[in-house]
Amino acid sequence: MIVTSVTGQMLSRGHEQVVYVADAPSGLRAIIAVHSTALGPSLGGVRFWHYANEDDALVDVLRLSEAMSLKASISGLDQGGGKAVVLVDAPDAPHTDPMLRALGRAINELGGRYLAAEDVGATQRDMDVIAQETPWVTGVDPANGGSGDPSPLTALGVLAGMRAVAQELDGAASVAGWRVAVQGAGHVGAQLVADLIDAGAQVVLADIDQDRAAHVAADHGAEVVGPDEILEVECDVLAPCALGAVLNTDTIPRLRCRAVCGAANNQLADEGSDDALLDAGILYAPDFVVNAGGIINIAEEFVGYSRARAEERVARIEQTTASVLDRAQTERRAPGRVATDMARERIERDGDGRRWHPGDAAAWTNGEPLRSLRP
């Protein structure tokens, strides 16, 4: 995509700040986007990606950071939305320590306006190296107070969203007896399969990695279908847990589910897909509402991490999802549009036009670095 004006893009999406980082000694090229700090310091993952060109990277970081603002807001977190993308030369290019430390210094210069986390392509080790340069990073080693792999909490949140869907469709907040199709048996998908079976559902799954699909299915007593068949499985709910843009003009007419509720980010190819699902009579639980377990979990690091409290907060995704679906029903509008409105309304109402400055971030942690870094 050709982007002619960076500031024009920022204005149209409401971004506060975009920082380009180029570090010649390490070869680091990165963009950090702070979408909103109205509700609190912006939080979002660092994505390592091999982009075709820099404009694609900009579009991605602007879109992803805006989505983080919406996700934090609808989840009731006092966090804003941010994101960082690192432009790597090849998908398997090594993440060298000098590169990660240069990124850590750039994050540090923002003084807490952007809090880094893991995203696609990143590892906990990357976060540990970044943490050598800045306190403003989450997802570090649990031995240093980090919260560890967020995937189980993400799966827990998706299941909570499904209970709200079940309440809406069948008047009972339980997936027991439901047939659920899970696309992608990775970190979140595999955990979701286990949780669903524990909750009394019957699961059909698919993964492009056939060995992984077979393994997860055998471990939990699920059925496997091919990756080309999963979207057409007759089921109560389809749980996309692999890729984005899976709900589009090609796939929606082929779906044979009553609802969609899954972990994958950006499931809708465009806003029209939300309306198309409504027209098809398929209830859509918006992705950024039901997959917020990971970010809710990470936000717990800022107040001294407690797994039990994180789980309790993630379970509230059931109420959040229910409120979105109720309002969508009342207004006869697509749930994704309603959830976006609800998130923006809270940013307006509670954020009151505020912007965080580096000193605010330090005050927010009582002058301490993020507690995840405390010994």
Return residues touching ligand NAI (CB under 6 A): 150-151, 154, 183-189, 206-209, 212, 227, 241-243, 263-265, 291, 294
Nearer to ligand NAI, 297 or 340 (CB): 297
Nearer to ligand NAI, 50 or 349 (CB): 50
Q: How many whole angstroms separate alpha carbon 304 and alpha carbon 372?
A: 7
Q: Residue 206's beta-bridge partner residues?
A: 183
Nearer to ligand NAI, 9 or 154 (CB): 154
Among 303, 304, 342, 302, smallest CA distance to 322 is for: 342
**Given the residues 35, 47, 71, 83, the one annotated as active site:** 83
Q: Would the CA dihedral through 319, 320, 326, 329 be positive or negative?
A: negative
Instruction: State which residue has the least CB distance to ligand NAI.
Output: 186
Compute the least distance from the CB of residue 367 to ligand NAI, in Å.
Answer: 30
Q: Residue 260's beta-bridge partner residues?
A: 238, 284
| Tokens standing for residue 123 | 């590892």
Q: How many whole angstroms separate alpha carbon 167 and alpha carbon 312?
A: 20
83 is catalytic: yes
Compute the least distance from the CB of residue 348 to ligand NAI, in Å.
Answer: 25
Nearer to ligand NAI, 15 or 71 (CB): 71
CB 368 within 8 A of CB 303: no
Q: How many CB atoms lie within 10 A of CB 308?
A: 8
Q: How many whole angstroms separate alpha carbon 57 and alpha carbon 213?
A: 32
Compute the least distance from the CB of residue 118 to ligand NAI, in Å.
Answer: 8
Compute the least distance from the CB of residue 122 to ligand NAI, in Å.
Answer: 11
Amino acid identity of residue 220, one-letter, is: H
Q: How many whole angstroms separate alpha carbon 357 and alpha carbon 370?
A: 16
Compute the least distance from the CB of residue 230 to ligand NAI, in Å.
Answer: 6
Compute the least distance from the CB of residue 372 to ligand NAI, in Å.
Answer: 17
Nearer to ligand NAI, 106 or 292 (CB): 292
Q: How many whole angstroms separate alpha carbon 373 and alpha carbon 319?
A: 32
CA distances from 162 to 113, 153, 208, 329 (A): 34, 14, 24, 17
Q: How many whole angstroms separate alpha carbon 37 and alpha carbon 351?
A: 8
Please measure the distance between the N-terminal and C-terminal CA atoms of the chain and give it in whole angstroms: 45
Nearer to ligand NAI, 13 or 187 (CB): 187
Compute the least distance from the CB of residue 248 to ligand NAI, in Å.
Answer: 13
CA distances from 231 to 121, 196, 252 (A): 26, 18, 9
Q: Would the CA dihedral through 96, 102, 103, 104 be positive or negative?
A: positive
Identify the DSSP state of 220: H
Nearer to ligand NAI, 28 or 269 (CB): 269
Q: How many whole angstroms separate alpha carbon 169 and alpha carbon 179?
A: 14
Active site residues: 83
